[in-house]
Amino acid sequence: MNSPKILDGKSIAAAVLEECRAETLELLEKGIRPGLAVVLVGSDPASQVYVGSKARTCADLGFYSVKIELPAETTQEELLQVVRNLNADATIHGILVQSPPPKHIDEDAIIREIDPRKDVDGFHPENVAKLVLEDATGFVPCTPAGCMKLLEVSGIETNGAEAVVIGRSMIVGKPMALLLVSKISNATVTIAHSRSKNLAGICRRADILIAAVGRPEMVKADWVKPGAVVIDVGINRIPDLSKKSGFRLAGDVAYEEVAPLSSAITPVPGGVGPMTIAMLLQNTVRAAEMATR
């Protein structure tokens, strides 16, 4: 059996954060402190944990960090006004409204209200357009950017590779495909999803397989070509009474059976997850630098 290269997101993310720390010190010398505002509507436990992690990392890097917690019954207009206030606040360079908001909130309208220059999540239509146009002045969504950084730092060749992305969301699937097919990466890309015919067969063609479908352990060994690179974006909670928490974390890939087939694979947790936060903070530093121009 093959011993795959484990793509360690923790160590690569730590290196990205060290770069952010150095860039932050340079900005502080100019009198500029990168500022990130995170808005959380409601009390979703997973979102609370994620927001807390972002706040701790911001503090560690020397950022100015604001956490705005709003009750679940906050209206659309109230949330829009919070975003407008942050747009106008010169101490804030990045704005992130934690997803998903309560169902009565129109998330697209909130994203469109964020100043594109402060849209460090990379979801505003202006930044999406810049990604399509390969305009480097835009912000790239954090999870796909983190996946590309993992591939780059790990020395995985994308040029001419056949890549399959399972998932078509605007958060991961579509921007991931755009990054892979860009003139920098030069991969041949297929976007697959739950309605794709012969999904397993499509996946078996991949030199690089990106699983971002949100279904625990969906990708099995017979979906993977021997020697493929497997990037598992999924993070799912599976009930497990043997754990103190009552659950275990699993990706979209059945790791134990897929790993021996792979040349390289990301673990869950510890793979893509740390990269997402690192790229968010990198985007925030960039936003602060751009605000000085």
Which stretch of DSSP H or E encloses residue 83?
A: helix 76-87
Exactly one of 5, 60, 76, 98 is catalytic; name it. Answer: 98
State the residue for tokens 């796909």. Answer: 144
- List 118, 119, 121, 130, catalytic entry: 121
64-70 and 35-41 as β-strands: parallel, antiparallel, unpaired? parallel
Based on the residue annotation, tell me whether 54 is a catalytic residue of this protein: yes
| Helix, strand or coil, per DSSP, at residue 258 | helix
Q: Is 8 one of the annotated active-site residues of the chain? A: no
Return d(Cα 109, Cα 149) in angstroms, integer.
30
Q: Which amino acid is at 111?
A: I
Quick check: is 98 catalytic? yes
Helices and strands (H and E) in the chain: how many: 10, 11
8 A C-beta contact, residue 155 and residue 7:
no
Candidates 150, 223, 161, 224; CA nearest to 188 is 161
Least Cα distance to 234 among 246, 250, 255 occurs for: 250
Distance CA 268, CA 250 (A): 6
**Which residues carry out catalysis?**
54, 98, 121
